[in-house]
Amino acid sequence: MKINSIFQAIEGEGLEVGIPKVFVRFQGCSMMCKNCDTPEAQNFNEGKEMNVEQIMTRIKTYKQKYVTLTGGNVLEQDLNEILKLLRELKRKKYYTTIEATGSDEIKTLNNISKIFNIVDFISFDMKSPSAKTRPFHKSSVGWTHKSQYKIVIADWNDYKFAKKMIEKYRICKIILTPCWNVNEKINKDFINKLCQKVLKDKLKTRVIVQQHKIIYGPNKQGV
């Protein structure tokens, strides 16, 4: 498996925000989102090859029991190896989260279904227009009892998209994630206006700021 980095940090977004975790960041992603906050994890030719035993050895050094597999794109790795890693994590009684793009027909792939049945929590991305990549696929709507669906909001076109998704997929826990460049200051005015629109439109959602950008700034090991 190609690994970009393994590090501990405080979860910065979504429903698990604030939880101390070990993050296993995989290398390589074909999505190439324009608003990606970790572009250095996109190139499949970079990163370090590590097996399950090597990854577990690194994870154990941090003394945390929450582990998130992130990317890059986890599901573009060797899925049999990802499955082995998750089984070993569960055997050692780790709470596991996986971050998935939600932009492919994931239910048609047998191993991915096995992966999602093992993990404790799944974070899907509903790719908004500003990402300029493959759109969210309806087959990603599943495992609703242990999942969240994040939508990055970079502009008001993204908000229109999010409103449509919230109204269409009422069973899902959809999180709106206001976005700003990791090297810039937090855009409080934009976030305030976003909150006001959510209140006015009575959307059944949550607005959760990416606190890792505030805490860690351009330090990518905190993102």
One-letter amino acid at 20 equals P
Looking up tokens 């006015």, which residue turns up?
200
- Can you give the pTM of this predicted structure? 0.89
Residue 145: band (very low, low, confident or very high) from pLDDT cuts 50, 70, 90: confident
pLDDT tens-digit readout, 153-185: 999 999 999 999 999 988 789 999 998 765 667
Please give the average per-residue pLDDT across 3-26, as a whole number: 95
Question: What does the block give as tokens for 198?
Answer: 């959510």
User: Which position has the higher pLDDT, 15 or 220?
Assistant: 15
Q: Which residues, including other chains, have CB under 8 Å from residue 78's CB and lie 6 or more apart? A: 1
Per the DSSP assignment, residues forming a β-bridge with 99 are 123
* Residue 61 neighbours by CB distance under 10 Å: 10
Predicted confidence (pLDDT) at residue 222 exceeds the cutoff of 80: no
Q: Which domains does the chain have, with CATH numbers?
A: 2-222 (3.20.20.70)
- The pLDDT of residue 101 is 84
- pLDDT above 70 covers a percentage of the chain that reads 92
User: Computed from CA positions of residues 193, 194, 197, 199, in that sequence, does the dihedral angle turn out positive or negative?
Assistant: negative
Looking up tokens 């009575």, which residue turns up?
202
How far apart CA 49 and CA 52 sit, in angstroms, is 10
Helix (H, G, I), strand (E, B) or coil at 99: strand
Residue 104: band (very low, low, confident or very high) from pLDDT cuts 50, 70, 90: low
How far apart CA 13 and CA 207 sit, in angstroms, is 10
Q: Which residues, including other chains, have CB under 8 Å from residue 29's CB and lie 6 or more apart? A: 36, 41, 42, 71, 72, 73, 76, 101
- The pLDDT of residue 196 is 97
Predicted confidence (pLDDT) at residue 223 exceeds the cutoff of 50: no
Residue 57: band (very low, low, confident or very high) from pLDDT cuts 50, 70, 90: very high
How far apart CA 185 and CA 102 sit, in angstroms, is 29
Please give the average per-residue pLDDT across 176-195, as a whole number: 84
Task: Give the chain's mean pLDDT.
Answer: 88
